[in-house]
Amino acid sequence: MFEFTEQDYKAFKVVAQQTQKQLRRTSRLVLEKYYEKDKIEVCQGNIIAHGTIPIALVAHMDTVFQTPPTEIFYDREAQVIWSPYGLGADDRAGIYGIYYLLKQGYRPTILFMCDEEECCAGAYELTKVMPKLENVNYMIELDRAHHNDCVFYDVANEQFQAYVEGFGFRTAIGSYTDIRVLSHYWEICSVNLSVGYEYEHTAYEYLKVNSFMNTLRAVAQMLSEPVVPEFEYVEQHLSYGYGTAKDFCHFCGAELPVRALDKIVTDTGTWNICDVCATNYGMDIDICERCFNYFIPTDNETICPNCKNKESEDFAYAGDAGVGWGHGCFRL
């Protein structure tokens, strides 16, 4: 039965009130309940579990808020969850939605992504060390506002779009999320589905429980298909997109093809940087030997702050059972 119970509310509160670092550990432990350890890997701060259903479910573990909400409320009559401090349902709703589907017995491939709110930094870093995701016919990210939107970004396969719409969704336009990067580099069709939150990135954000559960029911239908269809990856070229479209240098504002832009890790985040600005920085920047992004070193450091933090966390998660996957990730 797909019902949102009091236990689900309590469990969602736990998810919503954790930092990204805490949630990474929680998510790993949840996955270990349902997958063999050799099917789980921690990679560049992201967590991947390889399942038996050839669909990947994706959600991101970070939010835009500096600290998680200390108080969360549930209006049971209106079926709305909210917090006066910013709920962070973007994308804790997606994370808990995947937990819920796992509890129902489904075993797709899972991608819990980090740093989506920092220009999809986690997705970019993942594709650098994992050039392909195997045994996945298409990806579903649970990271869209509203009730029944489906967003395809640069994916232009009309058969795939019609297939998703057949589960009760309507096509909408979106800006970006993890799958926009992952689809381009892995050449796998993907869609972002509504999970019921509204007014994301503000203190007024709330989660509509009925909309959240409706999407989970639809995703369960997709996961239950006797034969999961395959779709050819077809990419369109949108002016606001990733892929072959353009983006902006954070420092000078130049609009350039995404492939002509690099990344630089700073104290305030991970940003696009063009060759001209990188040259102007001169000796003040170096290239991280792990993620190959630019960064501003102190002392004799050879890796950027992001990789330094994630490296220590990855080794902690891997523990004594850590075995290399061969592409810079760790088997748990």
Average pLDDT over residues 272-292: 72
- H-helix or E-strand containing 80? strand 80-82
Give pLDDT tens digits for 148-176: 999 999 999 999 999 999 999 999 988 78
Cα separation, 269 vs 272, whole angstroms:
10
Using the 8-state DSSP alphabet, how is residue 242 labeled?
S
Give the pLDDT mean for 46-61: 98
Write the pLDDT tens digit of every residue in 184-235. 999 999 999 999 999 998 899 999 999 999 999 999 999 999 999 999 999 9
- Alpha-helical (H) ranges within the chain are 6-16, 20-34, 89-103, 121-129, 158-165, 178-186, 209-223, 275-281, 305-318
d(CA 7, CA 23): 18
- What was the pLDDT predicted at 119? 84
Global pTM value: 0.76
| Domains within the chain, CATH numbers bracketed | 6-223 (3.40.630.10), 246-320 (no CATH)
Residue 118 above 80 pLDDT?
yes
Residue pair 89/16 in contact (Cβ under 8 Å)? The answer is: yes
Q: What DSSP assignment string belongs to 33-71?
A: HHS-GGGEEEETTEEEE--SEEEEEEEE---S-SS--S-
Check pLDDT > 60 for residue 332.
no
Task: Give the pLDDT band of residue 254 (cuts 50, 70, 90).
Answer: confident
Does the pLDDT value for residue 82 go beyond 90? yes
Task: Using a pLDDT cut of 70, give the percent of the chain over it.
Answer: 85
Higher pLDDT, 236 or 208: 208
pLDDT in tens, 17-35: 999 999 999 999 999 999 9
